[in-house]
Structure 1
Amino acid sequence: MSSYGQKTKPGRQRLKRKEYIWPGSEVIGESGSILTYQKKKLEDLPAKCISLIISLTTPRAASRLALVCPAFRSAADSDSVWEKFLPSDYEGFGLEQESGKKCYMAGAKWIYENSGISHRDCEMIPSSAGSRFPEVIELKLMSSLEIEARFGTTIFSPKTNYAAYFVFKFAEFREGPETSPIDFEVYFEGTHNGKKRREFLDPQLSQDRGNRWIEIKMGEFSIENGDEGAVVCRLSEPEPLSKRGTIIFQGIEVRPEYGR
């Protein structure tokens, strides 16, 4: 008598309750039939199951999982997965009037909740007139600032050149720029070449969106077939100062650029 069950033929054993059977071994079921247990890999799961699992992770994790195997890539690049990453208040989704191409805006609250804001003195506050979201983030006097948002490229229109914009306003009216510059970066995840766009938060040089909201261009990227993975929109302060005016952060908007 084996400690794992009753031997019936060489290599086979009768299955008992609560016993562990190694993959590939043969056992006799209760009905007397021969059962062979085969080892299953994660990629052998149904496509919908893989998509559900990946959708419970993060945009960064989904992009990395896409590199594991073709089954993971197919699931990670699907609309059903990336739609799960969109916030419930993703009111910035729309179609450009002239071209009919997709544009998106990730709200500050969603970016913050997905660990996209590295700042020790920020506060969620009710939005004011002109904001697309019910809540925005107040970034108070600070010594450093870093904001990052990721977008899955499958949500964008193919064969399109896009630009990302940092949307904000100053808590108090001002005419001149901040004295500390901001570095903006827009790149596909895994292909960062260190190229940055340095700008000052200057109301005079920013595009007015109305109700004191303004925008600054962060950078551009091109979508070919929508299989580029994820695009990262990032801003950081290279030379943090001890004092800085408080700004209200609404979100990061991505919309098509003209000329293509």
Structure 2
Amino acid sequence: MSCLTDLPDECNAHILSLTSVSDVLRSSAVSKQLLSVCESDTVWEKLLPSDLDDILVQSSTPNLVQQFILKKNLFLHLCRFPVLLKTDTQSFSLNKQSGKKCYMIGARDLTIAWGDTPQYWSWKVVPESRFPETAVLQDVCWLDISGKFHVKFLSPNTTYGAYFVFKMDVNNHRGFDNTPMNVFISETDEHGLSRQCDIVVFKRFYLKAPTVRRRSRKPKELPTEREDGWMEVEMGRYHHIGVDEGAHEGMAVLMTLRQIDELHWKSGLVVQGIELRPLDGLMQ
């Protein structure tokens, strides 16, 4: 039985281009011959999104592809450094394990109730944020934040986790210890109309661990710290089957965080955005 090292480089490159990122990286350690093949543009061009040029044209660096001699280096750059889109209100990157597309909807692209009323919300530059502005909660008793994203831009046949990304003002926050947030993930069409059976996820979580444990909290109900220092909590999961497999091209996923039942005054929440990350192939 022949093995990969017995085949011409062109055949190996074609075979590896049909596999996954992890398969390519593992194969590169087999031999010097396969290492050379695994570095080739033939392999990495297939691992990059087919609509990459269309995505980057929305960014401030539309010619990013031309800045890299090797497609592998372009791939790794997009894994490490999110590209800002839509006048710096969204970001795009790649998942290093799967090569699938990741997006974050920045605070300026979210719908925030009273978000433009200075007595309730302010907009500030936070150096650690990937976006020019973040939304800072001054004082509200009615919290309602939502983000909408067109599913045609997501990787097909992929389950995404939706994550609310935020911080708390350490010197001035209140109202979140014992007040759970309600979260809805649903589908809408391009006109904002809900489709039948549109609610995909409904759940509750807390944005801050309680100082007094009135009742036990499950780990999935509490936020965790990210590598970049921000906090996040999983709002829910959404499976995108792909536009060609039945999803309407104009369909969007709507992610809503809301607390309008327990009208406690809240302050000190710093919102960076809502991130959509592929979960396929990752340990859960």
TM-score where L is the length of structure 1: 0.60
- In structure 2, relative to structure 1, the CA distance for the partners of 1:259 and 1:211 (3 Å cut) is closer
1:134 deviation in Å?
Answer: 1.6
Instruction: Specify the alignment match of 1:142 in structure 2.
Output: 140
Contact 1:144/1:241, CA 8 A, preserved across alignment: yes
Instruction: Specify the alignment match of 1:254 in structure 2.
Output: 276
Gaps of at least 5 residues in structure 2 are 1-53, 60-84, 189-193, 210-218
Q: Counterpart of 1:109 in 2: which secondary structure?
A: helix
Q: Residue 231 of structure 2: which of 209, 214, 228 is its match? A: 214
Instruction: Specify the alignment match of 1:75 in structure 2.
Output: none
Contact 1:180/1:239, CA 8 A, preserved across alignment: no
Amino acid of the residue matched to residue 153 of structure 1? V
- Structure with a larger share of its residues in helix: 2
How do 1:180-195 residues align onto structure 2 when only pairs under 5 Å count? 180-189=179-188, 190-191=194-195, 192-193=198-199, 195=201
How do 1:7-156 residues align onto structure 2 when only pairs under 5 Å count? 87-90=86-89, 92-111=91-110, 116-119=111-114, 120=117, 121-129=120-128, 131-156=129-154
Aligned residues: CA RMSD: 2.9
Gaps of at least 5 residues in structure 1 are 1-78
1:107 deviation in Å?
Answer: 0.6
- In structure 2, relative to structure 1, the CA distance for the partners of 1:255 and 1:207 (3 Å cut) is same
Poorly superposed stretches of 4+, deviation over 6 Å: none
Query: Cα deviations across residues 146-178 of structure 1 (Å, max 9, x unaligned)?
Result: 111111111110010001111111011689952
Q: Counterpart of 1:127 in 2: which secondary structure?
A: coil
Contact 2:158/2:280, CA 8 A, preserved across alignment: no
Q: Counterpart of 2:109 in 1: which secondary structure?
A: helix
Question: Matched residue pairs, number?
Answer: 175
Instruction: Specify the alignment match of 2:266 in structure 1.
Output: 244
Contact 2:89/2:108, CA 8 A, preserved across alignment: no
Q: Counterpart of 2:135 in 1: which secondary structure?
A: strand
Contact 1:167/1:249, CA 8 A, preserved across alignment: yes
Task: Give the fraction of aligned pairs with identical amino acids, expressed as a percent.
Answer: 32
Instruction: Specify the alignment match of 1:201 in structure 2.
Output: 207
1:259 deviation in Å?
Answer: 4.1
Structure with bigger gyration radius? 1
1:211 deviation in Å?
Answer: 6.0
Q: Counterpart of 1:193 in 2: which secondary structure?
A: strand
